[in-house]
Structures are given as C-alpha cells and as structure tokens.
Chain A
Amino acid sequence: GDSVTQTEGLVTLTKGLPVMLNCTYQTTYSPFLFWYVQHLNEAPKLLLKSSTDNKRTEHQGFYATLHKSSSSFHLQKSSVQLSDSALYFCALNTNAYKVIFGKGTHLHVLP
C-alpha cells in the first residue's frame, strides 16, 4: 500500500548549519509530495509541494526535489535559523483519494 517514511524523532542543530530531513514514499500512483511545518501551538501549514520529477522547489530558504527514481522528497536548508525550530511533516497524495502523512520530525535549532 501507499506509505511515507521520514526522519523520525528529534534533529538538533546549531544555528547556521545545514539540515536535511529525509522523506521517502511508496505508491503505484502518480505522487504529489508536500512538506508541512507546524510551530508550537500552531496549525500545520504548507512549506513546499511538488509533483514534477527532478524539479527543485523552494520557499522561505527551504528546498526539495522530487526524485521519482528513488521515491524521495528530502527537505533541505543551507543555514538553519532559531525560528526554524518546529515539527516538519512529509505528506503523500496520490491519484487515489488518500493523503498520507509521515510521523513528523522535530527540528530544534540551538543558538
């Protein structure tokens, strides 16, 4: 069946360092991939989305490229800031109607 696997648990980094949060998926349908960010006591909101193979998408300094050959959509940023501390979800939407979320990755940025 369809599934999403992402870096689980807590990722702790010092401000200014690069970060990559992994996301891989499984589906037999044509995929739409999303990254959502949820700050403390707030609702999740869209960070990035893509359905185009091998095209980099960027927003607020974050970027990701959908690679259908490896079923991946990893989230990256070259220099994390304190305000990037949040919970990040990778999500898969397919030609079927289900939307599947990964378990989420907590990113904690230290001063």
Chain B
Amino acid sequence: DAGVTQTPRHEVAEKGQTIILKCEPVSGHNDLFWYRQTKIQGLELLSYFRSKSLMEDGGAFKDRFKAEMLNSSFSTLKIQPTEPKDSAVYLCASSLYRGEEQYFGPGTRLTVL
C-alpha cells in the first residue's frame, strides 16, 4: 500500500498570498488529520476529518486556515492570506479508525517571506 502523500514538499510564498497544500491519505483510512509543526509549539492540530466529515477545525486556526476533503482520497489545506508566522512544516496523517496509529506524510515545508 502507498503511504500518505503530500505535495508540494516545499513552498515559498509572499506575505498575503493564498497557498493550497495537498494530501492523499492511505487508501481505506477513515480519519485524516492536518498538523502544523514548529520547534516552539511542537505538533498543533489544524483539522480532523472522520469519513469526510469535519470533526475538529483547530479553534485558533479557523480564520485563515481551511481544510477540505473533496473525496475520501484527497484533502486540501488552504491558507489565505499567508503571514510570515505561518512558516512551518505542515503534516498530513491518516488512520484507519480511532485508537489506531496515525500514518504521517513527509510534510510540506512552507516559508512565508
């Protein structure tokens, strides 16, 4: 089975731009997660989907971050508009169901200038 794939692997954006990150979960997995990872804050949950339904929208990330599951095998994370403080690694993960391990993608490293 293919693992979680994420594109692009690296993204450089100017402040104020809109960027879209993409994720394909492991086939058959029901849960999909988006995280932001920084050295200071660690792993922060941005969004959580169960069977394509949004279960968690990350609270503080609501205003400029929007995740969608277009179908069971594809998800996007839109950041609009980007700010320099958004510079981080964005990780997508999927799991078969609650209580099972999460499989992480390689991440997208975002730099906002």
Contacts and interface: CB of A to CB of B under 8 A. Distances in A.
A32 B99 contact: yes
A44 B94 CA distance: 12
Contacts of B91: 43-44
B8 to A, nearest CB: 15
Interface string A81-105: 0000000010001010111011110
Given A43-B106, A44-B91, A89-B43, A99 B101 contact: no
Contact size range, B: 20 to 34
Contacts of A27: none
Given A93-B98, A99-B33, A104-B42, A43 B104 contact: yes
B98 A97 contact: yes
B88 interface: no
Given A43-B107, A44-B91, A98-B56, A34 B101 contact: yes
Contact of B101 (A43, A46, A97, A102): A46
Contacts of B33: 99
A51 interface: yes
Contact of A101 (B42, B101, B103): B42
Contacts of B76: none
B80 interface: no
A51 B99 contact: yes
Interface of B: 4, 33, 42-43, 45, 48, 50, 55-56, 91, 93, 98-99, 101-107
Interface of A: 32, 34, 36, 42-46, 49, 51, 89, 93, 95, 97-99, 101-104
Given A43-B91, A43-B107, 10 more contacts: A43-B105, A44-B91, A44-B104, A45-B103, A89-B42, A97-B48, A98-B56, A102-B42, A103-B42, A104-B42
